[in-house]
Amino acid sequence: MDSEYDVIVVGGGAAGENAADRAVKGGLTAAIVEKSLLGGACSYWACEPSKALLRPGTALHAARRVPGSREAVTGQLDVPAVLAHRDEASSHWDDSGQAQWAEGVGIKVIRGTARLTGARRLWVTDDDGNHFTLTARHAVVLATGSLPVIPKVPGLHNVRVWTTPDATSTQEVPESLAVIGAGVAGAELAQAFARLGSKVTMLARGSFLSAFPEDARNLVAEGLRADGVEILEGVSPEFAERTDDGAVRLTLPGDRTLKAERLLVAAGRRPALDGLGLPAFGIEPHLLRVDESGRVQGLSWLYAVGDCSGGAKLTHQGKYQARITGDAIVARSRDELDADVEPWSRWARTADVLAVPHVVFTDPEIASVGLTEEDAWEAGIRVRAVELPISVAGAWQHAEDYEGWAQFLVDEDARTLIGACFAGPDVAELLHAATIAIVGEVPLERLWHATPSFPTVSEIWLRFLEAYGL
Ligand SMILES: Cc1cc2nc3c(=O)[nH]c(=O)nc-3n(C[C@H](O)[C@H](O)[C@H](O)COP(=O)(O)OP(=O)(O)OC[C@H]3O[C@@H](n4cnc5c(N)ncnc54)[C@H](O)[C@@H]3O)c2cc1C
Ligand SMILES: NC(=O)c1ccc[n+]([C@@H]2O[C@H](COP(=O)([O-])OP(=O)(O)OC[C@H]3O[C@@H](n4cnc5c(N)ncnc54)[C@H](O)[C@@H]3O)[C@@H](O)[C@H]2O)c1
């Protein structure tokens, strides 16, 4: 094995793989050091398995909402078949296909745990405890992902908790499940397990899905409640203990208790930057900042992409950052790019601030992109919100009782869209149109010419422009 590569990526999740791929496509040599499965969290423990657990319930529910197909659907979810579908979606936790892809595109995969020991130099320990040094000629890219935040609840350390990988890879559906945290992971997994037969109770420190507009999160809360999920808002556990029968009992404010067979902690994630040797370079892991090209501030050779680099923790955004960073490293290796990076150029993560798409894959879904109304006012933008129910012919065709809500945010001076949020069944597929309108800064007068097909849910775009006054 060579000990020198142009680019060395630490962490082979979605972000790391894409950074290495772009470097190789640009003519550089690249290696990925990975301590677990190549493909990372998304492939084995996060997006793929969680969506595979959710999709069968969504499909069944959709069939029940259309007269004609409703009558044909008489059974319940087949739990073993759902779990088998999830196993398949997670490649049975086998990364050989991924390793084959990497080697095929010219990326060297090195199994082990890496830490920085000098500028462009890494110390790697493999699974057998062997050590070796790797040197990067141009750049080291950190793509080490994120770790769950475990809240400081007295007694919690004595209790066996599930974090999200335990929930997404389980082979058993618990009779009852308590969930600490009512963000995206908590909401999706609460619904998945409720539909698989668990009695689910969610504890939200603040509001359920607090990052989204109230009308959107109310629709999702209604959907979860219809599946039997109990949502307790403004509630954080005060104490946790193991019961004699191996279950978990939580003490809640007001001396209430909650007993559940399993306890899932989905209370947020933090960048996984410990143990990488960053303090020796004057960087406290929790203070790591990157510039628009993904370069760690203060170091010309160190970059970070994906969950570990701050910002939205989403696969597609990490991959976007990785494409930008990989190309920036290539450009700098050819002296085609200096320190300054133009916004919206191919070396700038401009969409990280202005156009991050985010889908909550519950049923109904939430799909949002761009600034929120609060962000816009804070940024000094004169924003107008147009909010309306998704009440178009396409919605009635989609489901008898279709209920949806949309919000469009317009920069009143530029007369362009700067944010959008949709809530309702299958709204995820409406999102990319909004992302394109925002990234392309398409004037509303031009959007007026983008005719949505009849009868599709996309007709909500026409209703928006009419409501806006065009
Ligand atoms: C339950 C759940 C569901 C989700 N669903 C979605 C979704 O539907 N859509 C979406 O966009 N996002 C989703 N996300 C978020 C998404 O999973 C993450 O944003 C994404 O996986 C991050 O990719 P990454 O490459 O940055 O990190 P990771 O995929 O975590 O990869 C980091 C890799 O680095 C390795 N590593 C760490 N330290 C070292 C070291 N020192 N040496 C060598 N290797 C190291 C790790 O083993 C790991 O493989 C979900 C998250 C969760 C928790
Ligand atoms: N569909 C998707 O794209 C998807 C799905 C799942 C996760 N993710 C990503 O993974 C990351 C982690 O998801 P997450 O849901 O864990 O984080 P999150 O930050 O979205 O939500 C965490 C929630 O836990 C609550 N919380 C924290 N401590 C608590 C306590 N002691 N008691 C009660 N509630 C408490 C917080 O108030 C917050 O609402 C997110 O950044 C998200 O972007 C994405």
Q: pLDDT tens digits for 200-209?
A: 999 999 999 9
| Nearest-ligand number for the alpha carbon of 165 | 1
- Would the CB of 313 count as within 6 Å of ligand 2? yes
CB 186 within 8 A of CB 202: yes
pLDDT digits (tens, 9 = 90+) for 100-143: 999 999 999 999 999 999 999 999 999 899 999 999 999 999 99
pLDDT digits (tens, 9 = 90+) for 332-371: 999 999 888 999 999 999 999 999 999 999 999 999 999 9
pLDDT digits (tens, 9 = 90+) for 282-294: 999 988 999 999 9
- Would the CB of 269 count as within 6 Å of ligand 2? yes
Q: Is the pLDDT of residue 1 over 90?
A: no
Per-residue pLDDT, 339: 82
What percentage of the chain has pLDDT greater than the value 70?
A: 100
pLDDT digits (tens, 9 = 90+) for 4-58: 999 999 999 999 999 999 999 999 999 999 999 999 999 999 999 999 999 999 9
Q: How far is the CA of 50 from the centre of ligand 1 (A)?
A: 13
Interval 244-262 mean pLDDT: 96
Interval 447-461 mean pLDDT: 98
- Would the CB of 182 count as within 6 Å of ligand 2? yes
Which residue's alpha carbon is at the smallest distance from atom 6 of ligand 1? 47
Q: How far is the CA of 13 from the centre of ligand 1 (A)?
A: 6
- Would the CB of 437 count as within 6 Å of ligand 1? no
Write down the mean pLDDT value for the chain.
Answer: 97
- Would the CB of 89 count as within 6 Å of ligand 1? no
- Would the CB of 318 count as within 6 Å of ligand 2? no
CB 22 within 8 A of CB 323: yes
Which residue's alpha carbon is at the smallest distance from atom 53 of ligand 1? 46
Residue 152 marked in a binding site = no
Q: How far is the CA of 145 from the centre of ligand 1 (A)?
A: 5
Residue 342 marked in a binding site = no
| Nearest-ligand number for the alpha carbon of 266 | 2
